[in-house]
A and B are shown apart, each in its own frame.
Chain A
Amino acid sequence: MNIIIKVQRYNPETDNAPYFQEYTVDMEPNERLLDALMTIKRFQDGSLGFRKSCAHGVCGSDAMRINGKDGLACKTLVKEVAANDGDTVTVEPLRYMPIQRDLIVDQSEFFKKYRSIKPYVINDEEVKEGERLQSQDERMVFDDTTNCILCASCYSACPILEKNTNFLGPAAITQAFRFLTDSRDTNYKERFVILNGPDGVWPCENHFQCTRSCPRSILITKRINSIKTMLNNQHKQGESS
């Protein structure tokens, strides 16, 4: 069936502002939206700019706004966004990050926030025998957060960033949870300082847009609230001691 892909275009060398361009492509309902973009790029307009790599939802390159919702073009089937012949799918770049070209945005700030929560297991104790022990139950506590592919869909979906651009954002907080709750990690204090700060977890207002947008089905809002609870408990402990 023929569908119309309406893409936001922008080339800083020639355009004063972003504009929309429409392409008509012949697609099967079960094909991916990424297949439609590739068809345009290969056979209609080589100048269309977007990132892509794995094409099956595990590398996080092709996150974009699809009909106003954030997600991966390779994990969105044509039939989910264009049911009938002649339907239009609107494709825009992710929000809150400077547009570099068409659907390509500058993610440096997003990754800077990720780096700020120290996204690695901190444990300076020497391992005596080969592996550190960890029960399967302990591991499952943070299991879903290890699914994160840093695609930034949740970041673009979050309404808080609209008013507070310094907010750490859902992805960085979720990764903080991943390490805070890993039984092998020994250093929560430094992460708590950042998470408890004015741009840490507290600006979150439970809109759940991050959870809805996550292509890896991570319960992001729940993890943010768990950290709020951890911080409150720590505060109470501090008062009682």
Chain B
Amino acid sequence: MREVPVIHQFDTVIIGSGGAGLYAALEASKDSKTAVLSKLHPVRSHTGAAQGGISAALGNVEEDKPEWHAFDTVKGGDYLVDQKAANILTEEAIQAVYDLENRGLPFNRTPEGRIDQRRFGGHTCNFGEGPVRRACYAADRTGHMILQTLYQRCIKNEVSFYDEFQVVDLILEEKLCKGVVVVELATGKLHVFAAKAVLFATGGFGRMFKITSNAFANTGDGPAVCARRGIPLEDMEFYQFHPTGIMGLGILISEAVRGEGGILRNRDGERFMERYTPTLLDLAPRDIVARSILTEVRNGKGIRGDRQIDDYVHLDATHLGKDTLMQKLPDITGFCKTYLGIDPADDPIPVLPTAHYAMGGIPTDENGRVILDNQATIVEGLYAAGECACVSVHGANRLGTNSLLDLVVFGRRAGQHITQYVKSAAAVKVDESAADEARQWIERITDGSEGPHGGHISDEMQTTMMEKVGIYRNEKEMQDAVDTIQDLRRRYREVRVQDRSSTFNTDLLEIIELGNLLDLSLLTAASALNRRESRGAHSREDYTERDDDRFLQHSLAYLENDTVRLEYKDVDTSIWKPKPRTY
């Protein structure tokens, strides 16, 4: 039976209801007919899992300047950051944080009643002199409070939500975006949302890795849908491993633990970061700390000392005292008690790096408009913001707290630009046939024939990416990874659902998600293989140095049938010339 898709007509459609999507929705819904689609209920979005803080040079507790913040962002990103974008990020940070406060966000406060600020990795005063208190925070649930506050504002402003709708295709005609095709999970029905403007704010894709801090929902649906429609993905080789995940589980232990004074120790009890980054110590940027932990483990200095890949180090917070842990790190304390059976006030936390954040994604300009190539060609009506996008303000390695900032600053900018764009853009016309390709994909998965289930393919993908495209990389292993992922993509074509019903078919949803992760794994591995240097989070054993002559460039990876074509584009280094990166 050929079902006819339900057709909706909007000015603006936003896919994703985390911080970026909701902030954009607050702007765009002011005077355009806006729908927010999300595969989760909005309050379940992964922004809610962000812990430590959101940086802004408010200077509430000590002197600070947006310029210092921008420099730290550029240096933290190993000079792959577009510098004017970094300036926008850090200058607009201040008003963005005030706006969140004014909208009701319950920040922790100073004795004077101002927003309190604490230290975070890579954030310094006066261009690297020493740590600075820049991260505004609400205990260790800052992301949760941002998500709640923005959702509450959306309720107040009566934004239209379509909860539990999964995006499966993007409707593009030449360089004009006309809408999206989505599946309604409750019924299995296909819907076509025609819109003058579409914003992807679908978050990250950490689920391509075995050990990750990311939610099950972080499967990169927006970037994958774009990649299959010919839009390149930028800087996919730069994937951040957060230094401190709970051993084995990957659950995030916020950098705020070190911001409040926590110390990393090896099996000898040594504060080993003294040897790697003598100025910033445990508060060096994440790529450096993650590599340092792995180096300790490889040198037999992990807690077990067996040099195995799952050996770990200790994060010591025992000297912080119960009061600080209760007031400033209560969730972390809870995670340790629940999953490890320890109280961080009494025992050190066993930690290992965990796959955490995609620096790369859908290329955009400073207003969230999606860019099609290295000539700055715009796709009219198509926008992206947040982790799924690449502006690029994080370059080769994101600083802690800059992700929440990215969401609110560029989510808002995209929303504002959309408001202007839809006023002058002509109405788009889309017919039922726009859903044809998506329908064929779903019909193949659900055609009733026998095929493998996705579970084993997913397992192999996650293990391959973790072991071969992880913190340390080399030519041979990455080539292996590309070959394995290609093989898994071939096997994926035979995958069939076990669930044949239309009502909340989460089996179908997970197979769609797996397809997205496989495409993004391929783009990540291929981009990494081609970057023959070490920069930020991309660290190669066979090319150990940064090579600005050849690789001070953003990569653009195009998915063309079963191959990946790579192009490169210039980085904006108009303010600070690249220098060696020491801390």
Contact = CB atoms under 8 A, between A and B. Distances in A.
A and B form one complex: yes
B497 to A, nearest CB: 6
Interface string B186-218: 100000000000000000000000000001110
Nearest to B113: A133
B94 A130 contact: yes
A149 interface: yes
A146 interface: yes
Contacts of A57: 334-335, 338
A59 B138 contact: no
Interface string B318-362: 000000000000010011001101000000000000000000000
B44 interface: yes
Contact of B113 (A13, A46, A102, A135): A135
A142 B40 CA distance: 27
Contacts of A133: 112-114
Interface stretch (A19-27, A119-127, A194-202): A119-127
Contacts of A185: 104
A207 interface: no
Nearest to A122: B156
A60 to B, nearest CB: 6
* A contact patch SS: loop
B102 interface: yes
B504 A100 contact: yes
A56 B251 contact: yes
A58 B141 contact: yes
Nearest to A59: B44
Contact of B502 (A13, A134, A143): A13
B108 A59 contact: no
Given A54-B49, A56-B251, A61-B44, A47 B155 contact: no
A42 interface: yes
B44 A53 contact: yes
Residue among B98, B138, B215, B454 having the largest count of chain A Cβ atoms under 10 Å:
B215
A131 B101 contact: yes
Contact of A107 (B41, B502, B505): B41
A46 B507 CA distance: 5
Interface residues of A, number: 58
B141 A147 contact: yes
A57 B116 CA distance: 26
A134 B506 CA distance: 45
A210 to B, nearest CB: 18
A212 to B, nearest CB: 16
B124 to A, nearest CB: 23
A241 interface: no
Contacts of B506: 41, 49-50
Given A46-B499, A59-B49, A131-B98, A120 B156 contact: yes
26 contacts: A13-B503, A46-B453, A46-B507, A46-B510, A47-B499, A53-B40, A53-B46, A53-B215, A54-B216, A55-B251, A56-B252, A59-B215, A60-B43, A77-B338, A102-B504, A120-B156, A121-B103, A127-B102, A130-B98, A131-B98, A131-B102, A135-B113, A136-B111, A139-B107, A179-B104, A182-B106
Interface of B: 40-41, 43-46, 48-49, 58, 94-95, 97-98, 101-104, 106-116, 138-139, 141, 144-145, 148-149, 152-153, 155-156, 186, 215-217, 249, 251-252, 331, 334-335, 338-339, 341, 453-456, 458-459, 497-507, 510
**CB-based closest 7 A-B pairs:** A121-B104, A42-B455, A46-B498, A133-B113, A47-B499, A101-B504, A46-B507
Given A13-B501, A49-B499, A53-B217, 9 more contacts: A30-B341, A41-B507, A43-B453, A43-B456, A59-B40, A77-B338, A119-B155, A120-B152, A131-B98
